[in-house]
Amino acid sequence: MIRINGRLFEPEVLFKEITRPVQKEIIKQMAGYTVIYDYDSINLLKFELLVRENTLRAAEDLNKSGAKFTTFTYAFCNKKYWNRLSNGAFLLKEGAVPSIAITDIVKNGSLYAFECATAKVIVMYLAVLKSIGTRDFNHYFRRLYLYSWHFDEDLPMSQKVGEDYLIGDILHFNNPDFDPKQPWWRAENVIFFGNDKFYGHGVGVTNSRSIINFLNKKRRQNADDSAYLMRLITRPHYKSIYILS
């Protein structure tokens, strides 16, 4: 359910102002859950829908970029914009422009390799850039640090347990019987596109069955438990991003 300034709204009413197909689909998803999605204003709702749609675009761009999957040990980046740290993280170089550096990852993907959690961090920064524009992005994200689940304080993230999956959410496939020799396949973090479609770095854009089958091939010998989609949702705090713009 969708509540704006204390009032519940039906999708048909919102569709008078929200016309983009992907955004309308998100509205339908929200309206179909018993969870209440609360907004101070219609503009805040519109902004969240914009960021969610841009998250899909960013995921598609990263998937097509040619950036490779690897572990933290073997991660590498374009030294023109990033310092590669000993833990496998990428730190924006002094004097580098944040918006140029983050978009370089999708423009020159062959110069980069990282694991799936870092990929989701990159996707979210790209989505925020697309949503708030170059000037504000460069102002607020001057010291980008790309590593696992580390986000800038101006891009707070939250997690919740539930199954009210929305397009643009970060979801998680767990692999409880992962091969201890390949611990990086203990899970796969994905961007949800809706209609059983997900983007995961290292597996591409595919459906849940394909991701589960892939992870099941990365289990220990004589494994009993299949990989599965978790009841865990990771989302940015959209109101905080809205304030930046």
% residues pLDDT > 90 (the chain)? 98
Structure confidence by residue, pLDDT tens digits, 140-152: 999 999 999 899 9
Structure confidence by residue, pLDDT tens digits, 65-102: 999 999 999 999 999 999 999 999 999 999 999 999 99
Q: Quick check: 214 pLDDT over 90?
A: yes
CB atoms within 10 A of CB 134: 14
Average pLDDT over residues 167-188: 96
The span from the CA of 159 to the CA of 55, in Å, is: 17
% residues pLDDT > 70 (the chain)? 100
Average pLDDT over residues 15-40: 96
Average pLDDT over residues 199-219: 97
Q: What pLDDT is recorded for position 146?
A: 97
Q: What pLDDT is recorded for position 245?
A: 84
Q: What pLDDT is recorded for position 104?
A: 98
Domain locations in the chain?
160-232
Q: Quick check: 235 pLDDT over 90?
A: yes
The span from the CA of 121 to the CA of 107, in Å, is: 17
Average pLDDT over residues 176-205: 96
Average pLDDT over residues 130-146: 96
| Distance (Å) of CA 213 to CA 24, 198, 203, 233 | 32, 14, 11, 21
C-beta separation of 138 from 219 below 8 A: no
Which residue, chain included where needed, has tokens 């978790």?
Answer: 230
Q: What pLDDT is recorded for position 47?
A: 98
Q: What b/e string do you get for 146-164 counting C-beta neighbours within 10 Å, with b at 16 or more?
A: bbbeebbebbebeeeeeee
Q: Quick check: 22 pLDDT over 90?
A: yes
Average pLDDT over residues 221-240: 96
Average pLDDT over residues 18-34: 97
Instruction: Kindly indicate the confidence band of residue 131, based on its pLDDT and cuts at 50, 70 and 90.
Output: very high
Write phi, then psi, for 93 (nearest 5 degrees): -70, 150
